[in-house]
Amino acid sequence: MSTDRSDIFETYRLAEDKRYHLHSIVTSCGHAVATESYVFDGQTRPDQNIVVFQWTLSGRGELNYEGEVYSLEPGTAFCLPVPHNHSYCLPEGATHWEYIFVCFSGREFRRIYESVREIFTPVFRMDERLELQNIVHDILHTSRSGGTSKLLKLSAQSYSFILQGLQYRYYPEKEIPHPGILRLEAFCRDHFRRCLTVSEIAREAGMSRSHMARTYKKVRGITVGGYIERLRMEEAARLLSPGEGKISVQECSLRCGYDDANYFCRVFRKFYGMPPMSYKRLRGSHTQQSPETASAAPPAADVPAET
C-alpha cells in the first residue's frame, strides 16, 4: 500500500504524445516535502515499469531496500526500478522530508539502467555528482515550460541522466575533476553569501580567468556564475522553510548575496517557478494529495502526479 501526504511545491505529470515513439522518457517529476503518513511500496504502487529517482534536500527519509534499512539524509539519493522489493517513507521521529523526484520510463532507459544499476542502488550521494544535479534541475526547468518540443527535450534529458550513470560506471576516474575545480567549489560554498569577483575565484582556483571559465564549463556543464546562483537559491529555499521563522524578502536577498531584492526575486522565480513569498507560504501549508487521486486524473501534461 502506498500513501502520500505531502506539501507540493511543484509537480508535473507528463502525458505521452502518440506522434513520437520515444524509448526514454520522463513520466513525472517535482519538488515536494512529506510531512506525515508518507509511504511508497515498490511492489504495490499503482505506477509500474518505471525507474524512480528521489534526491533528499532537507529533513530525512528512510529506505528499506531488500530488507536492509538506509537513512536518507540531505545530499543522498536513490534510483530504483518499479516493481521491486523496496519501500520508502517518512520515518518515525522525522519532522519532514523534502525531496526532488523524477520518474523515468521507456525501453531504452530501462535497458541502460540495468547495466549501471549498481551505481544508483541502494543509496548514493548527489553532492558528489554535480553533473547529475545539473541534469535533474534541467528536467524540472523543462517541465515548467510549455511548447510542443517539451517531451522531446525531456526525452533527451532522460538519456543524459542515464548516460551520465554509464560514465560513472565505466569511467569512474572522471568523477574526480581538476583540483582547481574542487578548490573553486569549496571557496564558493564558503563565500557565496557575499559579492564574489571573477578574479578572486580564479585566484583561489589557481587558474587564469579565461582558463577557469572554459575548464569549469567543460567539466561541470554550467558556468561558475551558474554554480554560485544555485548555491544562493538553495540557501534561499532553506531560509524560507517553515522552521526558519519570519524573514523578509530584503533580508533573505541580503543573506543570499544579493544587494538588489528585485533582482533576487527575478532569479528566484526563474529557478523555482514562483516568487519567494509564495514559495514560503506553500512550504508552510499542509496540502494533502493521494496518489490514487493523482493517477485517476486525465492523461494531460502538467497535472499533479504521484511520486
Domains of the chain, by residue range, sit at 6-174+286-295, 177-273
Classify the C-alpha dihedral 89-94-96-102 as positive or negative. Answer: negative
CA-to-CA dists, residue 184 to 93, 134, 137, 180, 222, angstroms:
37, 17, 21, 6, 14
Please state the rounded mean pLDDT for residues 24-30: 92
Whether 248 shows a pLDDT value over 60: the answer reads yes
Percent of the chain with pLDDT over 70: 82
| Among the ranges given (88-92, 113-117, 216-220, 258-262), the one the predictor scored with the smallest mean pLDDT | 216-220
Query: CA–CA separation, 262 vs 221, rounded Å?
Result: 28
Asked if residue 292 has pLDDT above 80, the reply is no
C-alpha span between 34 and 95 (Å, rounded): 9
Give the residue-averaged pLDDT of 22-48.
88
Q: Count other C-beta atoms under 10 Å from residue 174's C-beta.
A: 11
Residues 13, 301: Cα–Cα separation, whole Å: 6
CB-neighbour burial class of residue 183 (10 A; exposed 0-12, middle 13-18, buried 19+): middle
184-213 pLDDT, tens digit per residue, is 988 999 999 999 999 999 999 999 999 999
User: Over the chain, what is the mean pLDDT?
Assistant: 82
**Of 287 and 160, the one with more pLDDT:** 160
Pairwise CA distance, residues 224 & 257, whole Å: 15
Q: Write down the pLDDT at residue 4.
A: 52
| In the predicted structure, residue 300 carries a pLDDT above the cut 60 | no
Percent of the chain predicted with pLDDT > 90: 45
- Write the CATH number of the domain with boundaries 6-174+286-295: 2.60.120.280
Contacts of 264 (CB under 8 A, 6+ apart): 236, 249, 252, 253, 256, 258, 276
Distance in angstroms (rounded) separating the CA atoms of residues 118 and 115: 8
Output the CA torsion 199→204→208→214 (10° steps): -100
Q: Which is the CATH superfamily of the domain at 177-273? A: Homeodomain-like (1.10.10.60)
Would 6-174+286-295 and 177-273 be classified into the same CATH topology? no
Q: Return the CA Rg of the chain.
A: 19
- The pLDDT tens digits for 128-177 are 788 888 899 889 888 877 666 788 899 999 999 999 888 887 776 555 56
pTM over 0.85: no
